[in-house]
Amino acid sequence: MDKKMIPLFTRCLAEFLGTLVLVLGGCGSAVFAAAFPDAKTNELGIGFLGVSLAFGLTVLIMAYAIGHISGCHLNPAVSFGLWAGKRFPGSELLPYIISQVLGAIFAAGLIYLIASGKPGFTLSGSNPLATNGFGVHSPGGYSLVACFITEVVLTFIFLIVILGSTDGRAPKGFAPIAIGLALTLIHLISIPITNTSVNPARTTGPALFAGVEMFRQVWMFWIAPILGAILAGTFYARVLGESGEPVVGEAELQLK
């Protein structure tokens, strides 16, 4: 079946599932395994290196699983960046974004439900449920301005990797690897700063369950990543893209 013939509902369902796996895998590893079994001893804990790998691996595996169906955006910023880069139709932005946000909320709900099954569990600390934040909710205490710059710049880099690795001139079949490793690197850089978003859906899901104070900071993690993504898409299309390069068909990244 031609990718262009895949119904929008099917593609949105794939985005829902893929974003669910991304948040469950990435945020779930942060909640359950980062400091397991004790935050003081850190025995067997995977730390922020392990969490970074978890986010990268979820994108990699889902790109191979659903990239041929929906393009595996899993992220409103990616959808906006692909639109700005002339790779994705604006008419499908809203359905994709709704699907991504719902997938993130469902995954965050699962994490909260499972975490609540441990005696003594509370939504405490500066980043409960692996939420993102700035100021007092930045893991390293970074300011709003520092966090905003970080999210814009790293999302810009992420989209450049996505657009470049899925370009028709790029080596075929390796895009998911490059994209997954890029997301891993981004987490290694920015977990201490914002707990790493570069994805408005990933931020929104956990924040809904973490309380009003955390949800009040979500706005920044919509504006900064989308801004960085649009800048990257525009830059790639106008400066790095081939002259006359056709728009990539309806809703997929060119993963093969």
**Residue 253 placed within a domain:** no
State percent of the chain over pLDDT 90.
78
Give the mean pLDDT of the chain: 90
| Tens digit of each residue's pLDDT (9 = 90 or more) over 17-32 | 999 999 999 999 999 9
Instruction: Decide if pLDDT at 251 tops 60.
Output: no
Instruction: Decide if pLDDT at 243 tops 50.
Output: no
Contact status, residue 34 vs residue 115, Cβ threshold 8 Å:
no
CB count, 10 Å around CB of 139?
Answer: 18
Instruction: Decide if pLDDT at 245 tops 50.
Output: no
| Tens digit of each residue's pLDDT (9 = 90 or more) over 32-56 | 988 776 656 556 778 889 999 999 9
CATH assignment of the domain containing 112: 1.20.1080.10
**Residue 256 placed within a domain:** no
Query: What is the span of the domain harbouring residue 175?
Result: 3-240
Q: How far apart are CA 189 and CA 195, in angstroms?
A: 10
3-state helix, strand, coil in the chain (%, to 5): 65, 0, 35
**Residue 246 placed within a domain:** no
What pTM was computed for the model?
0.90
Q: What is the number of domains present in the chain?
A: 1
Question: Which one-letter DSSP state was computed for residue 64?
Answer: H
**Region 174-181 average pLDDT:** 96
Tell me which residue has tokens 């779930």: 28
Phi-psi category of residue 89: left, alpha or beta, with phi > 0 → left and psi -120 to 50 → alpha:
beta
**Residue 188 placed within a domain:** yes
Contact status, residue 125 vs residue 187, Cβ threshold 8 Å:
no
For the record, the structure tokens of 228 come out as 């960085």
